[in-house]
Structure 1
Amino acid sequence: MQTTERKRQFGHYLARLRREARLSQRQLADRLCTLSGVPTLTRNEVGRWEQGRRLPDAWLPALATALGVQLGTLERAASWARGEPEGRLPGAFATLAELLPPGDPLERETGTQGRRIGPSTVAALAGRVHGLRLADDVLAGGDLIVPAFRELSGAVVLHRERTYDEPTGRALLVQIGELAQIAGWIASDAGEHSQAAEAYALGISAARQAGDGTLTANLAGSLAYQLSNTGHELEGVDLAEAAVAEAGPDAPPETRALFHDRVAWAHARLGRPHSQSAIRALGQAHDALTDEGGPEAPQWAYWVTRDELEVMDARVFTELARPLRAVPLLSRVLERYDATHARELALYLSWLAVAYADANEPEAAADTAVRMFELSADVASDRTSERGRVVLGRLAEFEDVPEVRAVLAEHPPAA
C-alpha cells in the first residue's frame, strides 16, 4: 500500500477518535493549544491531518491526551502511515487497510494480448450480477454458491487477461467488487465463512482500485456483519465503524443507513453494555434515510427501505432483550412481507419467537417457532439453521409448557 493511502487511512482513524471524543475540529484544535501551550494550531490543520495531507508528528503526545488514547497506539499508527515496518494501525482500520494478502488476484497479466472488451461486456456482467442479487432474495446460499463463484472467477479472468480502455477497466472493477459482495454474502449464508471472507477481500481490492468508497464500505460492512455473527464481535464493531468512515458523510442516504444499521447490529451482538451505542446507531440509520438531496443510490442498495430499517430495529431490540419494542415491529413487518422470501421470513420469525420468549409468552414463542421451522425446512441456509438452534435453546427454558414441549419433541436441540 502506498504511503499516501496509508496517510489517508490514518486520517480516517484520527477523525473517528475525534468523533468518539465528541469534539469538533475546532474544539480539538483549541484543546491541543491549551495542552501544548502553543496557541497557533487551527481547525484547518486538524482538517489536513484527517484528510491525510499531513501527519501530526509533533502533536502526538497532546493528541493522545486530548482524545483519551494511549500515546504508544498513536505513535504506532503514525509509524504505519509513514510506511515504517514497526508501525501498526489499530483495530478495524488495520483490518480494512491491510485486508488483502500478498499476491493480489486482480494484478494484470504482463504482456496481455487478449481480445479487447468494451462497455457492452461490462453491462452484460452487471446484468448477471444484479440477477444474482434478485435470486438471493428468494433462494439460499446453498443453492447459489456455485454459480456465484463461477461468475466471480470469470470476471477476474476478464480483468486480468483482456484489454480495455481506462473507463471500461474502472467499470469492470466496480462490477467485480459488486459481484464479490454478493458472492461473499451467498457463501456466508451457506456457512462457508472463509470463502466469504476471501470474496470480500477481493471485492475491497477491486472497489478501491475503482475509487468507489461506497462500494468499499459495503464490502467491509458485509464482512463486519459476518464477524459479528461468528464469534468475533469486537472485530465486527471495529470493522462496521470503519466502513462508515470509509463511505464518508457524502455517500448516498440509503447506503449510509445500511452502514449505520450494521454498526447497530455489531454493538447489539456485544450485549446490554453496548445497548446505547446500538440504539444510537439505529437512530443514525433512520436519520440518514430521511436525508434529501444526496447522490443517487447505487443499484445494489435497492432493498434498503423503511421496512428493512424496522426489521433491523426489531432484531437489535430482540438481541438486547427488549421484547416490548421488538414484538410490535416484527409483527407489523411480517404481515406485509412477501411470502416468496422464505429464508427472510424464517429468520424474522426466529427473532419474533425469541422476543416472545423474552416477554414470558412461551405459547406464542412456540407457535412462532412452528411457523419458522415449516418455512425453513427446505431452505439451504446456514443462517436459518443457526437461528433455529438459537430458538430451540431459548424454548428449552419453558419445556414444562405443553406447546413448547411439542416443538422440542419435533425438533430436539443438539446435544
Structure 2
Amino acid sequence: MTGTIGANIRHLREQRGWSQARLAREVCRVAGLQGEPVGRQEVSRWETGKRTPREWLPFLAAALGVSAEALTAPQAPTETPLPTLADFLPEEDPLAPLSARTGRRIGAGTADDLQKRAHGLRLADDVLAGGDLMRPALRELRSAVRIYREATHTEDVGRQLLIQIVELAQIAGWIASDAGQHMEAERIYRLGLSAADKARDATLAGHLLGSLAYQRTNTGDVKEGLTMARAALVNASEAPPRARALYLDRVAWAHTQTGEAQPAMRALGEASEALAQHDGEEEPAYLYWVDAGELQVMESRVYTELRRPLRAVPLLRDVLSRYDATHTRELALYLSWLAVALADANEPEEAASTAERVITLSADVASERTSERVRVVLARLEAFKDVPEVRALLDNVA
C-alpha cells in the first residue's frame, strides 16, 4: 500500500508540474499551518515509500485536488514496467558459488571480456538515458554473476570476475538511478559492495559507496548521503588521484545539500589538488571521465545551489561552450543549472530561454534526473511569472 500511495503522490505532483518543495508548501497551506512542518525531504520519503503520510493524507489529497481514496488506489500500468534486480538474480546469495559447479573452466580472458562490456555500458550511458539502458545493464550483470557462480576458475580469476561484477553493478546502479528506480539502484549498489568486499578492492568499494551516497543525497536523505560520502573517502585512502577527486566531489555535493558552504568549498579545493596529482599513471578504466572539466561542472553546481550566480554562470557557460552536443542528457542537466543560476542573477528572460532548451532536450530522454531538473527550473521561474517571456514558457508547459 505504501508503494501505491507514493507512486500516486508522485504521479499527481508531476501532472501539475510541481516540485516536491512546492507540494510540501501546498500541504502546509491546506492544513493551515505556519512555517514548514512538512518539507521537500518528507515528500521524498512519502514518494519513495520510506514513510506513510497517515495523518497528512487528507491534506495531501486536498492539495492535489483528489480524494483520499484516489491516493490509495492502485494505478493502472501505462507501460511495461522496468525490470528489477530480482528478475535477474537468484533469491539466495547471488555471489555464493554453487556447491557443484557444472560450468566450463574459464580463464582471465573471460574477465577481460566482461570489463570491455562494462566499459561499453559506460560509453552508452554517455549518450543514452537510464530508461533505455536498464534491461541491457541488468542482463550484463546477471551474466557476470552466473559465470562467477557456475564456472570453475582459479582464485585469481575469481577475484577478477568479482571486480567486473562490481564495475557492472556500479554502472547498472547508476542507470537504474537515472531511470528513477532508486530502490533498485540501492539493491544493485549493495550487491556491488558485497562483491568489492569479497574481492578486497577498497577503491572500487569507495566508488560504489560514493555512488550510493550521491543517490541518497539527491533523493532527500542528505545526512546519510554525507556520512556515506565521507566513509567512501576515508575507507579508500590509498585510492589513485582521480578516484580521490571523485570521492571528494561527492563529499562537496553532500555538504552543499546540507547548506554547509565552507566544507563544500574545502572539499572542492581538495578534489582539484587530488586531480593535479594525476600524472598519467595507470588507473582503472572506469575513471576515464574524471577530469578538470568534470570538477568544473561540480563547482558550478555547488555555486548554483549556494545561490552564488556570479560565480556559477561564467563557469557553466564555459563548460557548455565546450560540451559534446551528442551527450543530450548531460547537456540538458547542465543547462538546467544555468537556468536556475540566471534566475538567481535576476535575469529571468535569459533564464526562460535557457529553460526552453532544457525542456526541448529533455522531451525524448528517458531520464528521471532530467525530468526532475525541469520541474526544479519551472518552480524557480514561478517567481518571475509576470515577466512576459517567463509567462509564455509557463503557459506553454501547462
The corresponding residue for 1:308 is 294
Distance of 2:347 and 2:392 partners within structure 1:
16
Q: What's the offset of the Cα at 1:120?
A: 1.4
Q: What's the offset of the Cα at 1:280?
A: 0.7
Distance of 1:194 and 1:117 partners within structure 2:
34
Runs of 4 or more off by more than 3 Å in structure 1?
292-295
Task: Please say if 1:343 is aligned against 2:366.
Answer: no
Q: What's the offset of the Cα at 1:115?
A: 1.2
Distance of 1:366 and 1:404 partners within structure 2:
5
Task: Please say if 1:264 is aligned against 2:221.
Answer: no
The corresponding residue for 2:123 is 134
Identity %: 62
Q: Flag structure 1 segments of 5+ consecutive residues without an equivalent.
A: 1-101
Aligned partner of residue 120 in structure 1, secondary structure: helix
Deviations 1:110-145 (A, max 9, x none): 122321111111111111110000000000000000
- TM-score, normalization: structure 2? 0.76
Amino acid at match of 2:243: T
Contact 2:252–2:268 (CA under 8 A) maintained in structure 1: yes
Q: What's the offset of the Cα at 1:104?
A: 3.3
The corresponding residue for 2:317 is 331
Amino acid at match of 1:396: E
Task: Please say if 1:284 is aligned against 2:270.
Answer: yes
Amino acid at match of 1:237: L
Task: Please say if 1:166 is aligned against 2:152.
Answer: no
1:224-239 map, 5 Å:
224-239=213-228
Contact 2:162–2:196 (CA under 8 A) maintained in structure 1: yes
Amino acid at match of 1:213: A
The corresponding residue for 1:222 is 211
Amino acid at match of 1:143: D
Deviations 1:139-181 (A, max 9, x none): 0000000000011111111111111011110100000000000
Q: 1:367 aligns with which of 353, 363, 381?
A: 353
Distance of 1:170 and 1:180 partners within structure 2:
15
The corresponding residue for 1:390 is 376
Q: What's the offset of the Cα at 1:107?
A: 1.3
Distance of 2:280 and 2:356 partners within structure 1:
43
Distance of 1:210 and 1:373 partners within structure 2:
43
Distance of 2:186 and 2:100 partners within structure 1:
31
The corresponding residue for 2:241 is 253
Q: What's the offset of the Cα at 1:292?
A: 4.6
Amino acid at match of 1:190: A
1:78-227 map, 5 Å:
104-227=93-216
Distance of 1:195 and 1:258 partners within structure 2:
23
Distance of 1:109 and 1:292 partners within structure 2:
41
Distance of 1:201 and 1:302 partners within structure 2:
23
Q: What's the offset of the Cα at 1:295?
A: 5.3
Q: What's the offset of the Cα at 1:401?
A: 0.3
Q: What's the offset of the Cα at 1:208?
A: 1.5
Q: Which structure exhibits the higher relative contact order, with contacts defined as CA atoms closer than 8 Å and separated by 6 or more residues?
A: 2
Distance of 2:382 and 2:92 partners within structure 1:
49
Aligned partner of residue 164 in structure 1, secondary structure: coil
Aligned partner of residue 197 in structure 2, secondary structure: helix
Q: 1:404 aligns with which of 374, 382, 390?
A: 390
Structure with bigger gyration radius: 1
Amino acid at match of 2:266: R
Distance of 2:294 and 2:307 partners within structure 1:
20
Q: What's the offset of the Cα at 1:291?
A: 1.1
Distance of 2:120 and 2:345 partners within structure 1:
40
Amino acid at match of 1:339: A
Distance of 2:204 and 2:218 partners within structure 1:
21
Indicate the larger mover: 359-368 or 180-189.
359-368
RMSD (Å), alpha carbons? 1.2
Q: 1:275 aligns with which of 247, 251, 261?
A: 261
Contact 1:226–1:236 (CA under 8 A) maintained in structure 2: yes
Count of residue pairs the alignment pairs up = 308
- TM-score, normalization: structure 1? 0.73
Amino acid at match of 2:228: L
